[in-house]
Amino acid sequence: MSAVLALLRGSLAAAVLALNTLLIALALLPPALLKLLLPLKPLRRRCDRLMNALASGWVAINNAWIAALQPQAWEVQGVEGLNPRGWYLLSCNHRSWVDILVLQRVFHRRVPFLKFFLKQELIWVPVIGLAWWALDFPFMKRGKGGGGDARRNDLQRTRAACEKFKLNPTTVMNFVEGTRFSPAKQAAQQSPYRHLLKPKIGGLGVALAAMGEQFEALLDVSIVYPQGTPSFWQLLSGRCGAVSVHVRQLPIPAELLGRDPMRDKAYRQRLGAWVDAQWQAKDELIEQRLGAALS
């Protein structure tokens, strides 16, 4: 009986999510085309505000069905004092596609709408790829064989997106590991962390170079699933389990602002050391939360 109920819940939630996504994506098209055809800064700013409001409405509806389906309260720490009209750089570990909806729920109306780095291939995802394009999400080419030219093109695209983000309050989000964690990827990388992959600092470096002085803080976010990493279907069917989100608001060191991450090797080393310190603290926090769940 519980399996049948889970199937019904999941199917209903999937239908609500699909309809919500379709309607918002269609609503985004007119202002997206307007700012594309008439690239005037005042007009672009107004179009962006409208589209961000529509995207926030999409998040609010998703939050409603997630709250209705999840019997277990989420543990959230460190979100006090955030500015919904500010600019933030957000760095987070990555376990599952569920992470995105978790972050959107936790930060909804606490910070500006989250804009995150995406793989280039995701622009072809039906409906939602169009919405990501309209909202100026940075698309990056990843994978083997790209070489220095591919990295430079990625950084140029990221820089261009960040320049657009200066027009309206934005939270620039980056899954610094570049992909979802798995034991196989961890072993292949020979990662020194127990619960994390090695961080990739390219996206952070360009975001800091393009608009670092505009960011109020770095939001260092750690997501932990004490009962195991859930699948997207488990979220849809109300079986996500416990969710723990810890946020640290960190000042961005002045020496990490306005530098060239491609040409300045010393800068990359400083940025790498700064991120590595965060990753060590994050790895320890995840270990503690998982240990507490077992005790």
User: Would you list the domain boundaries of the chain?
Assistant: 2-294
pLDDT value at residue 133:
86
Q: Which residues pair with 221 in a beta bridge?
A: 92, 247
pLDDT-based confidence at residue 191 (cuts at 50, 70, 90): very high
Q: What is the DSSP letter of 176?
A: T
* Under 8 Å between Cβ of 208 and 259: yes
The yes-or-no verdict on residue 198 having pLDDT over 90 is yes
The yes-or-no verdict on residue 91 having pLDDT over 60 is yes
The model's pLDDT over 254-272, given as tens digits with 9 standing for 90+, comes to 988 877 777 788 899 999 9
pLDDT value at residue 170:
92
Average per-residue pLDDT in the chain?
89
Q: Is 238 helix (H, G, I), strand (E, B) or coil?
A: coil
The model's pLDDT over 25-51, given as tens digits with 9 standing for 90+, comes to 999 999 999 988 888 888 888 999 999
Residue predicted with more confidence, 206 or 51: 51
The yes-or-no verdict on residue 274 having pLDDT over 70 is yes
pLDDT value at residue 154:
64
Q: Which CATH number fits the domain 2-294, given the four candidates 3.30.420, 2.60.310, 1.20.1070, 3.40.1130?
A: 3.40.1130
Q: Which helix (H) or strand (E) holds 171?
A: strand 171-175
pTM (2 decimals)?
A: 0.90
The model's pLDDT over 102-136, given as tens digits with 9 standing for 90+, comes to 999 999 999 999 998 787 788 888 888 888 888 88
pLDDT-based confidence at residue 145 (cuts at 50, 70, 90): very low
* Long-range Cβ contact pairs of 114-118 (< 8 A, separation 24 or more): 114/90, 114/171, 114/173, 115/161, 115/165, 115/170, 115/171, 115/172, 115/173, 116/172, 116/173, 116/174, 116/175, 117/158, 117/173, 117/174, 117/175, 117/203
